[in-house]
Amino acid sequence: MNNYDVAAFVWPAYTGDEKRTRIFWEKGMGEWQTVMNARPEDNGETWPRKPLWGYVNEADPCVMEMEIEAAVSHGINTFIYDWYWYDGRPFLENCLNDGFLKAKNNHKMKFYLMWANHDANTLWDVRNSHDVSMPIWTGAQDETEFKKIARRITEKYFILENYYKIDNKPVFMIYDIVNLVDGLGGYEGVKRAFADFNKIAREYGFDGVHFQYVKINGDFRRLCRSYDTELTEFELISDLGYSSMSHYQFVHFMGMEDITYEKAIEYMLEEWQKCDERGIKYFPHVSLGWDPNPRFKKYTPNVIPDPKPEYIEKAFQLAKEFVDRHSENPPLIVVNSWNEWTEGSYFEPDNLYGYGYLKAAKSVFLNSAAETADESECNNKFQKTITDSAPQLKRAASV
């Protein structure tokens, strides 16, 4: 039995079902296009990495049923979906709506949302990723838009039984605090917006919203340059109405030059300690690696070159021990990620380590008596899913 809530971020771009994605990935398969085109001469010795399950459409409920089984049988029992709102409407939402929520077995997993309220720029388009200075869509939203977001999320997601909640409060993570404050016109605007969101949530029988802060080094300094405050970063987020915090990626609090995963673990522990001493609930974060080179034409050496499964297992063990020492908190561990292939951080099996990362999670978070899925059985089921449910992706994968 899994006594820990192991929550992996989901990057919902591995589908071509949403037409707006073709701005970035014109072939109609989402960012699988970038993964498929990554070449070792451009992207270093560890590329190309290939998904053992194929270039599947993750907005297909049949695909997600297979992925859910693989996740829960290896100790990952929660997905955190990256969620977007641009131009007055959601973006990349169909992976959650049409894939996960229509999967027959989604009751086996909890999920919650991280509002990825950063600007959308040309980073996702390899043809133009060298110049990300001009946004395509802005992530900052005003109070009117925020109210639309709050209402939609509450009515569409919070009310679902498997939405992840703490103390009867649905958890809602927000990525970019600078865009949040800018869009809402300052700190008081954020307080009003959070109060409105809490009010909507209470209309549906919840005790409010559990707002979760994503700590990114440098963001607080950026805020201070624009908005005066005598509060520390941690005092400010408490004052705004956040209930807890975690991280999204190792790269947000450690440099990636000449770093090994073993060294990254040391920095990880130092960061956990700093956050743990600040008086706001902190949930430990583990990243499975970092290598964004598939998104660029020119190779960058700022990567973690050796995220071997045995190192990942050590990081998971440390996260488990951290949670055990904080038994007053929910047993939540945040992981990047389930499928961030173009950032080199994913659980999904590949041609480099196979099921190594999933096995690392299983060895730490599931007891020896836990039922596990056979790897060959998982692969066979996925190949059948590709053939039956996503033939267009199967043809593309053979190109």
pLDDT > 70 in the chain, percent: 90
With H, G, I as helix, E, B as strand and everything else as coil, classify residue 214: strand
Mean pLDDT, range 102-131, rounded to an integer: 95
In the prediction, which pLDDT does 13 show?
97
Question: What pLDDT band is residue 142 in, cutting at 50, 70 and 90?
Answer: very high
Tens-digit pLDDT profile for residues 299-326: 888 999 889 999 999 999 999 999 999 9
In the prediction, which pLDDT does 47 show?
74
Distance of CA 53 to the CA centre of its chain: 20
In the prediction, which pLDDT does 396 show?
43
Please give the tally of structural domains in the chain.
Answer: 1
- Nearest 5°: the CA angle 76, 80, 82 is 145
Sign of the dihedral defined by the CA atoms of residues 119, 120, 123, 124, in that order: positive
CB 7 within 8 A of CB 330: no
DSSP 45-93: TT----BTT-S--TTSHHHHHHHHHHHHTTT--EEEEEEEEETTEEES-
CA pair distance 211, 173, nearest whole angstrom = 6
Residue appearing with tokens 């053992």: 52
Tens-digit pLDDT profile for residues 33-88: 999 998 776 666 667 889 999 999 999 999 999 999 999 999 999 999 999 999 99
Question: What pLDDT band is residue 371 in, cutting at 50, 70 and 90?
Answer: very low
- SS3 percent helix, strand, coil of the chain, rounded to 5, is 45, 15, 40
Closest of 181, 262, 269, 277 to residue 229, by C-alpha = 181
What does DSSP assign to residue 133? -
pLDDT greater than 60 at residue 368? no
CB 75 within 8 A of CB 364: yes
pLDDT greater than 80 at residue 393? no
In the prediction, which pLDDT does 387 show?
60
In the prediction, which pLDDT does 299 show?
85
In the prediction, which pLDDT does 41 show?
66
With H, G, I as helix, E, B as strand and everything else as coil, classify residue 250: helix
In the prediction, which pLDDT does 397 show?
42
Q: What is the dihedral of CA 62, 67, 69, 73, to 10 degrees?
A: 170
In the prediction, which pLDDT does 48 show?
80
In the prediction, which pLDDT does 42 show?
62
Beta-carbon neighbour count of residue 144 at 10 Å? 9
In the prediction, which pLDDT does 381 show?
67
pLDDT greater than 60 at residue 27? yes
Tens-digit pLDDT profile for residues 247-293: 999 999 999 988 999 999 999 999 999 999 888 999 999 999 999 99
In the prediction, which pLDDT does 388 show?
61
* Range of weakest confidence among 36-40, 214-218, 300-304, 377-381: 377-381
CB 24 within 8 A of CB 129: no
Question: What pLDDT band is residue 389 in, cutting at 50, 70 and 90?
Answer: low
In the prediction, which pLDDT does 383 show?
67
Question: What pLDDT band is residue 219 in, cutting at 50, 70 and 90?
Answer: very high
CB 360 within 8 A of CB 316: yes
Closest of 227, 230, 242 to residue 279, by C-alpha = 242
CATH number, position 89: 3.20.20.80
With H, G, I as helix, E, B as strand and everything else as coil, classify residue 357: helix
In the prediction, which pLDDT does 398 show?
38
CA pair distance 211, 214, nearest whole angstrom = 10
pLDDT greater than 70 at residue 126? yes
Looking at the chain, which runs of residues are DSSP E strands? 5-10, 78-86, 89-91, 110-115, 165-166, 169-174, 210-214, 244-246, 281-282, 285-287, 332-336, 339-340, 345-346
Alpha helices in 160-242 (DSSP H): 177-183, 187-203, 219-226, 233-240
pLDDT > 90 in the chain, percent: 82
Contact partners, residue 6, CB within 8 Å, separation at least 6: 75, 76, 77, 78, 333, 335, 361, 365
Distance of CA 219 to the CA centre of its chain: 19
Range of the domain at 227: 5-397
At position 313, the amino acid (one-letter code) is: E
Tens-digit pLDDT profile for residues 348-365: 999 999 999 999 999 999
pLDDT greater than 70 at residue 199? yes
Tokens in use for 251? 């790269």
pLDDT greater than 70 at residue 100? yes
Tokens in use for 248? 């999204």
Question: What pLDDT band is residue 170 in, cutting at 50, 70 and 90?
Answer: very high
In the prediction, which pLDDT does 394 show?
46
Mean pLDDT, range 236-243, rounded to an integer: 97
